[in-house]
Structure 1
């Protein structure tokens, strides 16, 4: 990851993944306000059907549901994992001899193995998400295991980047500390999702911090490995904090525009569904009021 591409690659993953969930949160928000969607907890995956099997009974669907997002996370994590270790020749240490001819172990490519460890935990997230979505195999996972795995992956990422700062320059330390703040936001929001699985605000907060991670990875690539890397000055160290605030402001404005745009699109494309739901609700209220009126007349006659 100590290259321009090494920071852009995870930046694309986090940015697109968080953006995808912001879009989903926008649609869920619209449907909930319209009274169409009254579902419970918000899933971290969308299913698709594959692996047609012979049915054993009338109730068995014969299809295995897998997770789109989980498979994409697995693929991205494998690409990052193999890319990091392949450029380091898969070698973690070498045995050298000291001046007194005593052998000792020297660890090499530490940055690459730290980043590979991060990718390995996100691979675990994708694997857990895929297995949790395979309902046809009667797998009984604890509720919220996907969010627990996500929180663990984010926490490990923050831990690795925290100790990644040893021996770094002041500007490099500053940009990575700001990245850790975004990671902490992801951890806190994901833990809150475990406690409040139906809260749209928690999912939106996690998605927001994930997009912030991705955009800040792009900024780190530009600051440290761009065509003209920033110089090590106190003004640049202060200015990069302001740039981080601009990222937060831009993502916040973009999220509001996204929610507004999705509401307009959903209102135009799904108006018939919303209208039918509202008509059904109105008829239900009329029936309940009529029943209540009849009960009151019966009571008065008695």
Structure 2
């Protein structure tokens, strides 16, 4: 990070992952509103782990850029083997990427070995990544008083929402609203990262009275006085509020469109006799497995219902 490209590319990653999750969660909820359970990630149609591999690849690229490509001597350490102060931010950024890489790697491992608590553990690692991100942005070694610090402060609020909803989602995986807000907050992170990149490292977009200065190899916006700085921060606050409202409108509008498209689809429910049900046992929510059982044995009866007419049915004997 610390540059236009260093913010736009990670922002694009958050943007795409957030959008991918929003689309899939809305579709899944629209098709199966009664049996909806939020997965921590979604397999792609042709390559199952594409989402996770892209996350891991992006994290490795970010770590390489921060520690080995970006520095002038192509390594992050000083001549005596210590970390110079102007490279602390590089280690902070790469530590965030490392946490998300661990999330992606273990999500694949947990899925391949089919661990019993794979969804909970995968979401737990996602929470760790968001917590790492929030901690390091809050304790960032860059100037917290300047304009860049204001962008990072507002970003922390969005990350906090991602972390909070991710934690709540572990205990309430069937809550569409919690997962919807989490996905939208990840999407918002991506948007705000890209906005930071363009607004802080494009000279023509720097607020009036502020300039872009090279300090220890990092370009930082400095304002000429306290009044100018306060004005610049106020502009950032106004812009953030506009994006907040705009993304809320985008999320709700997208839900209405996709729900109208997929909401007319039908959902299958199995009607089992009392002899087939275990006392106190839970019926399976896996729609696909129900279809397979029907096709193999023909012992299960299915009733086709429109989603708008989903009501409890008493079976007559």
Q: How many residues align?
A: 262
Structure 1 unmatched runs, 5+: 51-64, 97-103, 292-302
Question: SS where residue 90 of structure 2 aligns?
Answer: helix
Question: Which of 294, 300, 304 lines up with 1:277 in the alignment?
Answer: 304
Alignment deviations for residues 123-162 of structure 1 (CA, whole Å, 9 cap, x no partner): 001011111221xx45455550111111110111111111
Question: Which of 255, 259, 262 lines up with 1:263 in the alignment?
Answer: 259
Aligned to 1:87: 70
> Is 1:15–1:214's contact at 8 Å kept on the other side of the alignment?
yes
Cα gap change, 1:237 to 1:273, in 2 (>3 Å) = same
Cα gap change, 1:285 to 1:139, in 2 (>3 Å) = closer
Larger radius of gyration: 1
Question: Which of 126, 134, 141 lines up with 1:150 in the alignment?
Answer: 126
> Is 2:4–2:198's contact at 8 Å kept on the other side of the alignment?
yes
How far has the Cα of 1:245 moved from its partner?
1.0
Aligned to 2:8: 8
Cα gap change, 1:148 to 1:105, in 2 (>3 Å) = closer
> Is 2:134–2:160's contact at 8 Å kept on the other side of the alignment?
yes
Question: SS where residue 42 of structure 1 aligns?
Answer: coil
Distance 1:150 1:284 in 2: 36
Question: SS where residue 278 of structure 1 aligns?
Answer: strand
Aligned to 1:71: 53
> Is 2:43–2:50's contact at 8 Å kept on the other side of the alignment?
yes
CA RMSD of aligned residues (A): 3.1
Does 1:132 find its partner at 2:117? no
How far has the Cα of 1:237 moved from its partner?
0.8
Normalising by structure 1, we get a TM-score of 0.76
Question: Which of 140, 163, 176 lines up with 1:200 in the alignment?
Answer: 176
Cα gap change, 1:272 to 1:203, in 2 (>3 Å) = closer
Structure 2 unmatched runs, 5+: 211-222, 270-302
Distance 1:48 1:184 in 2: 28
Cα gap change, 1:285 to 1:114, in 2 (>3 Å) = closer
* Structure ranking higher in helix proportion: 1
Q: Which moved more, 1:168-177 or 1:235-244?
A: 168-177
Structure-to-structure mapping, 1:1-302, within 5 angstroms: 1-33=1-33, 38-39=35-36, 41-47=37-43, 66-85=48-67, 86-88=69-71, 89-95=74-80, 106-134=84-112, 137=113, 139=115, 141=117, 143-164=119-140, 166-228=142-204, 229-230=206-207, 231=210, 232=223, 233=228, 234-267=230-263, 270=265, 277-278=304-305, 288=315, 290-291=316-317
Distance 2:307 2:100 in 1: 44
Question: SS where residue 32 of structure 2 aligns?
Answer: helix
Cα gap change, 1:169 to 1:49, in 2 (>3 Å) = closer
Distance 2:249 2:7 in 1: 24
Alignment deviations for residues 251-300 of structure 1 (CA, whole Å, 9 cap, x no partner): 111111211221233256x46989x7307998997771x43xxxxxxxxx
Distance 1:260 1:48 in 2: 23
> Is 1:45–1:68's contact at 8 Å kept on the other side of the alignment?
no
